[in-house]
Chains A and B, each alone.
Chain A
Amino acid sequence: MTLAALAALGLTGAVAVVALGLYNVSAVAGHLPGVSWVLHTTFRNSVWLRAPSEEEVPELDDAELVALGAGHYATACVPCHGAPGQEASATMRAMVPEPPQIEEAVAHWEANELFWIVENGIKMTGMPGWPAEGRDDEVWAVVAYLESVKGEAAPELVLETSEPEEYCASCHGEVGGQVPRLDILSAAYLEAQLQAYRSGKRPSGIMAQAVTSVPEERLAELARHFAETADEAEEAPVADAELASKGEALAREGTRDVPTCLACHGEREDGRRKGPVLDGQRRGFLEVQLTLWRDGIYDYDPLMHAAARDLSDEDIAALAAYFAGR
C-alpha cells in the first residue's frame, strides 16, 4: 500500500517536471551542485570503455595526414574549440558545458580516445559525431592533427579565406597524400562528385563539410576551376617498380574475381573512357578509395563495389602504385 502510494507520487512528480516545465533548462542557471561532476565522470569513463585499443592507432606523424586534418579542423572545429593560441568567441565559450580550448581538449586524451570522441561526438554537449559513416580514414586525419597540437608541432591553420577557390586550394594543390589531384579529372566529373558529397551519396565528413561551406551555385564554377588548375602539391616518392608491375598485371588482365581496371579506366582510341581518370592520381588517395569500395563504405556504384570486393591490401597497394605512375 505504502509502496503503491510512493510510486504514484513519484510518477506524478515526473509528469509534472516534463509536462509543466518545472525543470529549468537555462544554460545561465547551470547545473545543480554535483551534477557536473557526475556527468563529466560518466563521459570520461564511457570514452575509456569504448575507445578502440591502442594497437589500432595507425601511423599519425605523416605530414600530409596532419595537413589534411588541419584543413578540416580549420573550418569544422575552430568555431567551438578555437585554434592553437587563439580562443573561440565569447558566445561559443558561453555554451554549457563550455567547449574546451583545443590545447586543453587534447591534453587529457590518448589518440585512440580522441578517435572515439571525434567519430562519435558527445551527447548533450553540442559535440557532433562524424557526419559520414565508416570514414575512419578521415577521423584519423583529424586525430593526427590533434596529436600534432599536443606535441606543439601543429601546422599553421588557414583561418581566413575570402574566396571559395582559396578555401578549396588550402588542401587541393597544397596537400598530397590522401587528397586527390583534381587537374587530371574533367569538370563534369568533379561537379558530379561535389553534388554527391553534398547529398551524402558519396560519404565523406571532410568533403561534406567543405562542400557545404561554399555557396551551392558556385560548385560548377569551382569544378571548372580545379579541373584546369595544375596541382603543385609535392609528389609522394615513386613506388618500387616491382609493386607497380604487379599492379599493372592486375589492372590489365584481372583475375577470376577481379575485373580488368583498364576496360573502364583505360583510355580508348577516341580518347574517352567509361570511368574517371586514374593515371597520375595520388597513391594515398587511390589506396583509401579502393579500400572504401572494397569494404562497401562506398556502395553507390554496385559495379565498382563488385570490382573491388576481392582485392587484398597488397593488391590495393599494387594498383595504387601502378596508376600513380601511369
Chain B
Amino acid sequence: MALLSACGKDQSALDAAGVDAEAIRNIFMVTLVGACILWVLVNGAFYTLTRLRTDPLDDRFVRPLLIGGGIVVPSVLLIGLLAWALSILPDQRAPGDGLQVRVTGEQWWWRVEYWPDGAEEPIVTANEIRLPAGQRTEFVLDADRVIHSFWIPSLGGKMDMFPGRETRVSLHPERPGRYRGQCAEFCGVSHAWMAFAAVVMPEEEFDAWLEREAGDAVAPESAEAMRGEELFRSEGCGACHAVRGTEAVGQVGPDLTHVGSRETLGAGRLGATLEDFERWIAHTGELKPEVLMPTYDHLGEAEIADMATYLKGLK
C-alpha cells in the first residue's frame, strides 16, 4: 500500500486527464500487460522443460524454438514498441492552438507568463498553471541558474528546463480538475518543495480567469488589509515582489498581484488559507530551507496577521 500511496489522484501518470498523459499511460499499460504475458510464457517453458519433460528434445523442435522465441519474436516486439513510442513523440511537441505559456524554473519556484495569441506583453503570475480543457497549449521552458524539470504527471510527460536554453513541450488536457505539478530534476536543498497547482478549466471559464489575471491588483479595503499594505511597503517587500498597480515592481520573487486567488503558497509548500499566509511570512526558512525570502519573524503577531490579510485579499 505504501508504494501505491504515490498514485494519488492529483499527481498520477496512471490517472490521465489529457491526450498526452493517455498516450504515455497506454504505452505503459501495453508494455506492462505484454511483460506479464511474456513472464508467464518464459517461466512456463522453463518449468515444462526442467520438471515435466526432462528427456532430451528433438533437434527439429529446439532449433525453431530458440530462433523464433529467442531472436525473431523479441526483435519484432521491441522494434514494434520502439516504432510506436517514437511515433507519438512528436505529439508531445506539437504546436499549440494559440495560447503559449512561458515557464521559468527558479530556486525553488515557477515564474509563469501567459502569452495569448498575438499578445504583445505577457500576463505574469507564478506557481500555478491554469489551462483550457480541450485545447493544446504550448509551453516554452527555461531556467535560472540550475537545471529543473517541468512535470504534470496527470497531463503529460516531463521536460527538462535549462539555464539559457529554451525547451518546448505541449499539453492537451481534456478533463477539468486540479492536478499537481512537481520539479522532477534535483535542483538544490528545497527541490522537494518545488511544486505547483495545475488547474484545467472549461474554455469559457479559463478565458474569464485569464482576463481577471491580466488586471491590476485590487486595492485593500479593510483597516487590517490597509495596515498590511503599508507594512508590505515599509518592509521593502516590493524590492523582490511585484503587485501590479502599486509601486511594488520587483522581479526577483513571485509576482503577487493575484496571490490571494492561488491554491498554494511557497510553490505548493502550503495551502492558501489566511493561517497559511501567516505561517509562510513568519517561518519561510523553516518551511523551505535556504529559500531566498527572509523570515519576517521580527514582526509582531498582529502585524503578520495584517500583512496576511492584505495578501489574501489580492484576489
Contacts and interface: CB of A to CB of B under 8 A. Distances in A.
Given A256-B144, A268-B234, A272-B234, A263 B239 contact: yes
A260 B250 contact: yes
B116 to A, nearest CB: 22
B188 interface: no
Nearest to B292: A306
A307 B239 contact: yes
A275 interface: yes
B177 interface: no
B101 interface: no
Contacts of B64: none
A258 B111 CA distance: 15
B236 A254 contact: no
Contact of A260 (B233, B235, B238, B292): B238
A52 interface: no
A126 interface: no
Which of A264, A275, A302 is packed against the most chain B CB atoms within 10 Å? Answer: A264
A253 B252 CA distance: 10
A268 B233 contact: yes
Interface string A251-274: 011111111110110001000101
Interface in A31-53: none
Interface string B4-32: 00000000000000000000000000000
Contact of B239 (A254, A257, A302): A254
Given A302-B294, A303-B294, A306-B292, A254 B237 contact: no
A259 B249 contact: no
Nearest to A252: B249
B236 A264 contact: yes
Interface in A244-302: 252-261, 263-264, 268, 272, 274-275, 302
A102 B251 CA distance: 53
Given A259-B239, A264-B239, A302-B294, A253 B249 contact: yes
Which of B111, B144, B236, B237 is packed against the most chain A CB atoms within 10 Å? Answer: B236
A257 B252 CA distance: 5
Contact of A261 (B144, B235, B239, B292): B239
Contacts of B294: 302-303
Interface in B238-293: 238-240, 248-252, 292
B249 A274 contact: no
Contacts of A264: 236, 239
A229 B101 CA distance: 56
A260 B250 CA distance: 6
A255 B236 CA distance: 16
A275 B234 CA distance: 10
Contacts of A259: 239-240, 250, 252
Nearest to A301: B294
A69 B91 CA distance: 68
Contacts, number: 48
A40 to B, nearest CB: 50
Contacts of A254: 239-240, 249-252
Given A254-B239, A302-B294, A306-B292, A260 B249 contact: yes
A247 B249 CA distance: 16
Which of B235, B250, B292, B294 is packed against the most chain A CB atoms within 10 Å? Answer: B250
B252 A274 contact: no
Nearest to A307: B239
B251 A263 contact: no
A253 B239 CA distance: 8
A274 B144 contact: no
Given A252-B249, A255-B251, A275 B236 contact: yes
Contacts of A256: 111, 144, 251-252
A167 B239 CA distance: 38
Contacts of B236: 263-264, 274-275
A261 to B, nearest CB: 7
Interface in B135-152: 144
Given A256-B144, A302-B294, A303-B294, A263 B252 contact: no
Contacts of A272: 234
A302 B292 CA distance: 9
A274 B238 CA distance: 12
A248 to B, nearest CB: 13
Contacts of A302: 294
A252 B234 CA distance: 16
Contacts of B238: 260, 263
B35 to A, nearest CB: 46
A259 B111 CA distance: 16
B252 A258 contact: yes
B234 A260 contact: no
B237 A263 contact: yes
Contacts of A255: 251-252
Contacts of B252: 254-259
A263 B292 contact: no
Contacts of A252: 249
Contacts of B248: 263
A257 B111 CA distance: 13
Contacts of A260: 238-239, 249-250
Nearest to A263: B239
Contacts of A274: 234-236
Nearest to B237: A263
Nearest to B104: A256
A302 B236 CA distance: 14
Contacts of A257: 144, 252
Q: Which 4 A-B pairs have the closest CB atoms?
A: A263-B239, A259-B239, A264-B236, A263-B238
6 contacts: A255-B251, A257-B252, A260-B238, A263-B250, A272-B234, A274-B235
Interface of B: 111, 144, 233-240, 248-252, 292, 294
